[in-house]
Amino acid sequence: MASKNSRVFKYGNQPIRKTTVDVVRELGGAATVSEVDNYLKAKFSNYKDDTYLNLIANSVNCKRSYWSFNKTARRSDDETHRHHEYDKLYRRGDRYEIYQPSIHGVWELYEDIYGKWCFREIETIDEAKRLQAEFEIEVRKASQLTSKERKQHLAVSNFPEMKEVITKIFVRNPYVVAEVLHRAQGKCELCKRNAPFLRGKDGTPYLEVHHCVPLSQGGEDTVENAIAVCPNCHRQAHFG
């Protein structure tokens, strides 16, 4: 039992709904009910709460108006709303993911003409944009690993998964991108010049990863078949 600002909590030092979201984040940003439940039971010997309901209460795309804090009209991307803290998860099948508007779209809680509280998606993310956003997140994660760890992942598959959206795109291996950028150390591997600028969001050198034998022509998604190049050399490689 712990207290904070005179409040006493049964599990830890915050409401269990917040802890449930923290557990999903600890488990890599996506987890099933049983995975979260097992984690909480290991953490708190007296844990007997309903993990499923706590996940639903925080999920933007679930029916969750049973709770009073979910009976206030709001958009899931409105960080200034007093109840935004309950818009933290997204349900995909049997897994609950940390909610990100750029990937999961924008959802809304609203009261219909009959006084019933409902949810709906109000800004749909184009599938290609969603996949690109997910890929960029995976590249950032891969970049935080050591070169040795990335090479362990690289041993799994040399060919990219293909998904059909409006057009076909190759879902590239983020570990290939991260390893090639690491190898380049901020210099274009064709012209040998420094990257033209640093990315505003994280200060890393801006280089693009080019496949020597295009994936569309059967090229492998491997470190050996890829080079890090500046935008000018990348255009020249495609159109020169």
74 shares its domain with 94:
yes
135 shares its domain with 118:
no
Please say which residue of 123, 138, 156 terminates a domain.
123
Please say which residue of 123, 142, 167 terminates a domain.
123
Give tens-digit pLDDT for 79-119: 999 999 999 999 999 999 999 988 888 899 998 888 899 99
Which residue range forms the structural domain that includes residue 226?
A: 127-239
The 10 Å CB-count burial string (b at 16+, else e) for 196-205 is eeeeeeeeeb
User: For the residues 207-221, what does the mean pLDDT come to?
Assistant: 87
151 shares its domain with 58:
no
64 shares its domain with 22:
yes
Q: Nearest 5°: phi and psi at 154? A: -65, -20
7 shares its domain with 39:
yes
85 shares its domain with 169:
no
Confidence of residue 44 (pLDDT cuts 50, 70, 90): very high
Confidence of residue 153 (pLDDT cuts 50, 70, 90): confident
Please say which residue of 93, 123, 153 terminates a domain.
123
Give tens-digit pLDDT for 116-136: 999 988 866 666 666 777 788
Helix (H) / strand (E) containing 32: strand 30-32
Hey, what are 56's tokens?
Answer: 């639903």
Rounded Cα–Cα distance for residues 121 and 108 (Å): 6
204 shares its domain with 131:
yes
138 shares its domain with 52:
no
49 shares its domain with 161:
no
Hey, what are 196's tokens?
Answer: 């033209």
- Assign 3-class secondary structure to 74-119: EECCCCCCCCHHHCCEEEECCEEEECCHHHHCEEEEEECCCCCEEE
Angle CA 167–170–173, to nearest 5: 155
N-terminal to C-terminal alpha carbon distance within the chain:
68
81 shares its domain with 193:
no
Considering the chain, what percentage of its residues have pLDDT values greater than 90? 57
Name the residue type at position 224: E
Number of domains in the chain: 2
181 shares its domain with 137:
yes
181 shares its domain with 213:
yes
CATH code of the domain containing 135: 1.10.30
Considering the chain, what percentage of its residues have pLDDT values greater than 70? 91
Q: How many CB atoms lie within 10 A of CB 76?
A: 26
